[in-house]
Amino acid sequence: MTVDAAAPAQTSNRPSFVVCEGNEAAAIGVGLARPDVVAVYPITPQSSLVEHLSQMIADGRLKASLMNVEGEHAVLCGLQGVALAGGRTFTATCGPGVAFMFEPYVRTPGLRLPMVAALVTRDLLSPQCVWGGQQDAMVVREAGWIQMYCETVQEILDTTVMAYKIAEHRDVMLPVNVCHDGNYLSFGVTRVELPEQTAVDEFLGPPSINWHIALDPLRPMGVDPLTGGSGGAGPRNFVRYRKGQCHGMQNALRVIREVHAAWGERFGRYHAPLVEEYRLDDADYALVTIGSMTGAAKDAVDVAREGGEAVGLIKVKTFRPFPVEAMTAALAKVDRIGVVDRSVSFGWNCGPVYQETLGALYHTGKPIAATSFIGGLAGADITVEHFARAIALTREAQFGRSPREPLWLNEND
């Protein structure tokens, strides 16, 4: 479907591409998915996403109801009602907004409501900050939502549409967070290819949201009753639902791959669904990255390659569910890694992606040197030079002699 800008053959007046920021790309993706109700409370750096969506609805370009609510908690409570009534929904938030949304947020996966929400990732308070960082998304990584991290503005648009197909798959039925880096992707402006509406309609199919749990006078039921106390069938009921939720997450690993493949076939853009391997097959060591930092990291890998270094890169796109098999296969190809995080695991004194990569390393059966780098907090830039330093330090690392301390890339900036 990728249409060359010079090609005149257009079936509609709609341009085949636009130049826009990441938040607008997300809004365009939402528009293509045709949600019934949108409720978004503005918060930096997500605010322009709300503005784009509001404008689309006001102009009649998106036939959806815009629900004006008083805060993020009400956003998600309201949208749960919409989903239970069978509607396709969208919201977006970040940072303190996620914190305020937390109570209905943790309930959404358990209700198996296939909602889609953008997380325009932002570092958490305090110290006071309104800039990008992935701490908000990492804090909620055990809430039960699927998390996919985008690398480019184009990937935001494509992933937002794909997210609906993944969430609404009968074997998944879980909410999806499409995560894109605040500032760097939210306000980064670039050329973006636009898929045709009819093609997206065919790709997604009609929504089927509330076939399993509903607020519907024609199908009267109690929604989410108590599963019972410890005296009767309560414990086994609860375990059955929890296990079902875990199975849904594991099914998502397969469905995410299938949907990305189908998207590539249909629209000509193939994004790595779970883990991307970059120049890895003949690499001795590798960086592990997540999100928009990957662009600069790939440039740094290219520069090092020109200098004769056998370095590659592993990018995590899907972080929840964690792609254990794909990650294990990638890690097995190298004998040293350096993991770069844009957030902090306070419990382990390292980055969260580093911590989870160590978990995947267990499955390779091969202990290797692993170094934790933390950079890009509160909007800081991780430059090619920072990555060059991370590459040099990763090359020198030896197993068993890694410091139990992360290396803070922006410490002296």
Partner 1 sequence: MQRQSRDHFDASTIPDDLAPIATTLSTMLPGDWRSMRPVIDRLKCVKCGLCWLFCPVQCVVEKPRWFDFDLAVCKGCGVCAQECPHRAISMIEELGR
The contact set with partner 1 (CB under 8 A) reads 110-112, 173, 211-213, 217-229, 231-232, 237, 240-241, 243-244, 247
Cα 21 to chain centroid, rounded: 17
Q: Is the separation of the CB atoms in 89 and 122 below 8 Å?
A: no
| Alpha-carbon torsion (182, 184, 186, 187), positive or negative | positive
How far, in Å, CA of 67 to CA of 110, rounded? 24
Whichever of 222 and 403 has its CB closer to partner 1, that residue is: 222
Cα 46 to chain centroid, rounded: 15
Whichever of 114 and 351 has its CB closer to partner 1, that residue is: 114
Whichever of 173 and 252 has its CB closer to partner 1, that residue is: 173
Write down the least CB distance from residue 76 to partner 1, Å: 16
- Closest C-alpha among 319, 274, 281, 314 to residue 298: 314
Write down the least CB distance from residue 58 to partner 1, Å: 33
Write down the least CB distance from residue 78 to partner 1, Å: 18
Whichever of 49 and 173 has its CB closer to partner 1, that residue is: 173
- Closest C-alpha among 387, 382, 408, 409 to residue 303: 387
Whichever of 217 and 308 has its CB closer to partner 1, that residue is: 217
How far, in Å, CA of 199 to CA of 32, rounded? 10
Whichever of 179 and 213 has its CB closer to partner 1, that residue is: 213
Phi, psi dihedrals of residue 371, rounded to the nearest 5°: -120, 140
Strand 336-341, strand 285-290: pairing = parallel
